[in-house]
Amino acid sequence: MQALITLAAFLVTLGVLVSFHEYGHFLAARLCGVKVLRFALGFGKPLFTYHASNGTEWVLASIPLGGYVKLLDGRDREQIISAQERSQSFDVKPLWQRSTIVAAGPFANFLLAVILFSVIYVSGVPQLPARLQAPPEQSIAAKLGVKAGDQVIGWQSLSSDYNGAPILEEFDSVPSWNALRWLLLDAITGEQGFALEIRDIAGTRQVKSFRQGDLPPIAPESDPFQALGLFPQVSPPSEWIELKLGPIDAIGFAYQRVCLITKVSVRLMLGLFTGKTTLKQLGGPLSIADMAGKSAQVGWQPFVAFLALMSISIGLLNLVPLPMLDGGQLLYDAWELVAGKRISLSLQEKLQKVGFLLLISLSLLALFNDLQRYLSS
């Protein structure tokens, strides 16, 4: 039964994320007057095909590991374009429209994340309070005098030249441990100091300042939270806080959360090139399926939150400037904007082959990491 739930959750995850991404391309293409020849979910043998009156072929294929939108494009040697349809071809559109169509896919993923988080916040979600457990000895929090039972109620970012002076600015509210955790990740990955407004078990307000120079560095084999010393205290469900917002507030809060998660994720991705993170952390389809299944078994809200996080990841991944990805096409567009001419079709084809090999290599590495985790567990 558990295996069936995992498989179903994995297929739903792929279906929702891929279809929303490709629909972003589809909608932008239609708005820009480009004819869409095919909208396909999956690869391989078609299981279902529908021909719409506007000429678009809708396909559901047998291998649910992606999808694509095929546009009318004069660069495709297999396409024969009539004079009447020439104006609907992707390649004759101005640069800004072509770039909009390409960027619409990742944008749709970020939009989906905002929508999914908004649904969670409108419905009301229980949150673990930002109440801290006793910090480990020698941690930064222990040296600052953080005690078990201290509750974080406010957050303030500190400038790099902060000298320990009293903080007069108003603190931002910290509604839960989940909110505090993302703020901490933002501070650590951004190497920015911060101050916590804390209420101790006696009800006394205190301020603990974590300066930039004291923050633990991001490293492949270390846990920055351990060095920081900030962990949540286990609380019974009766003490959890319900976060429930109106529709407008939920959208605003969800937008802020997506921006924060995106910012942290970009820094962690860049860490692959600086040595702060490692390719061993790269997860593949087995990891995604495992997380999808586990979140679905907990409840619909954790599963929807997982979908939102995955949607952000898909959006960011597609913006990586590699051939075969949307980011690679946007890189071509940037070259055209600067140089005033397009990259030749022959060079694009060569770069596509290189990009394909790189993506296959990364996919195999991610699968290897998955198998290694599975066999070692």
Strands 172-173 and 151-157: antiparallel
> Which of 57-61, 113-117, 323-327: highest mean pLDDT?
113-117
**Average pLDDT taken over every residue of the chain:** 86
Q: What does the buried/exposed string (b/e) look like for 47-70 if buried means 16 or more CB atoms within 10 Å of the residue's CB?
A: eeeeeeeeebebbbbeebeebbbb
Burial label, 155 (beta-carbon count in 10 A; 0-12, 13-18, 19+):
buried
Mean pLDDT of 146-159: 90
Cα separations (Å) of 22 from 58, 103, 203, 289, 320? 12, 11, 52, 21, 17
pLDDT, tens digit (0-9, with 9 covering 90-100), for 285-312: 778 877 888 888 988 899 999 999 999 9
Residue numbers of the domain that contains 216: 125-243
pLDDT class for 372, splitting at 50, 70, 90? low
HSE toward the beta carbon, residue 61, CA cutoff 13 A: 18
pLDDT of residue 1: 73
Written as one string, the DSSP assignment of 83-119 is TTTGGG-GGGS-HHHHHHHHHHHHHHHHHHHHHHHHH
Percent of the chain past pLDDT 90, that is, above it, reads: 34
| Domain-embedded: residue 115 | no
Global pTM value:
0.88
| Domain-embedded: residue 142 | yes
Mean pLDDT of 14-29: 92
Closest CA to 48 of 37, 59, 64, 63: 59
User: What is the torsional sign of CA 157, 159, 163, 165?
Assistant: negative
| DSSP 8-state symbol, 215 | S
Strands 241-243 and 205-210: unpaired
pLDDT, tens digit (0-9, with 9 covering 90-100), for 84-94: 888 999 989 99
| Domain-embedded: residue 153 | yes
| DSSP 8-state symbol, 206 | E
Quick check: 41 and 50 in contact, CB under 8 A?
A: no
| Domain-embedded: residue 221 | yes
Backbone angles phi and psi of 7, in degrees to 5? -65, -45
Q: Which residues contact 201 (CB under 8 A, 6 or more apart)?
A: 147, 149, 150
In this structure, what CATH number is given to the domain that contains residue 216? 2.30.42.10
| Domain-embedded: residue 189 | yes
What is the number of structural domains in the chain? 1
| DSSP 8-state symbol, 212 | G
CA distance 74 to 286: 39
Tally of CB atoms within 10 A around 320: 18
Quick check: 204 and 244 in contact, CB under 8 A?
A: no
pLDDT, tens digit (0-9, with 9 covering 90-100), for 108-137: 999 999 999 999 999 998 889 999 999 988
Q: Which residues contact 364 (CB under 8 A, 6 or more apart)?
A: none
| Domain-embedded: residue 18 | no
| Domain-embedded: residue 164 | yes
| Domain-embedded: residue 130 | yes
The first and second tokens of residue 167, run together, are: 């903080």
Quick check: 110 and 262 in contact, CB under 8 A?
A: yes
Cα separations (Å) of 332 from 37, 94, 251, 322? 23, 14, 34, 10
Q: Which amino acid is at 92?
A: V
